Amino acid sequence: MRKRGREELEHLLEKVLVLDSRYKLEAYAFILESLDFSVRKLKEPRHLTALELLDGIRKFAIKSFGPMSKTVLEDWGLKTCEDFGEIVFHLVRCGIISKTQEDTEEDFKKGYDFEEAFEKPFLV
C-alpha cells in the first residue's frame, strides 16, 4: 500500500474507533489484512462469504501468530466470530470495504469456537 493510502486508511480507522472502542486499532487492521490474504488465495478475485472470510482470518492468524493466535486476538478485544463480524460491518458502514445485499452480521454467528480454531491445532 502506498504511503498516502496507508495514512488515509489509518485516519479512517481512527474514525471507526470513535464509533466503537471495544476493539483495538490492531484488530481492525488485522481484519483488513486477513481479507487481503483471503482474496489473494482465490484463483480469481471475487466477493468472499462470511464463512470464507472466517476461514481466511483463522488461517492468517495461525500463520501470523502461531500458538499465540488466541491470546493476541483476545488482547485486541476479539473473542468470538461475532466480534469479527462487528468489525467487518463497522468497516462497511465507514465505507472502507463493501458488502453484498446477502451479507449480514448474522452470518458470522455460524463461525467456529476460538479454542477449537486457535488452540487445538497446536496441541500435541
What pTM did the predictor assign?
0.90
Closest to 78 in 3D by CA, of 91, 61, 64, 92: 61
User: Which residue, 36, 27, 91, is CA-closest to 65?
Assistant: 27
Q: Is the pLDDT of residue 1 over 50?
A: no
For residue 13, give the C-alpha cell: 480507522
Mean pLDDT within 77-103: 95
Q: How far is it, in rounded angstroms, from Cα 31 to Cα 26?
A: 9
Residue 77's alpha-carbon distances to 27, 73, 82, 105, in angstroms, are 8, 7, 11, 17
Q: Give the per-residue pLDDT at 20.
A: 84
Report the percent of the chain where pLDDT is more than 90: 76
Q: What is the pLDDT of residues 38-70, one digit of tens each?
A: 999 999 888 999 999 999 999 999 999 999 999
All structural domains of the chain with their residue ranges: 3-122
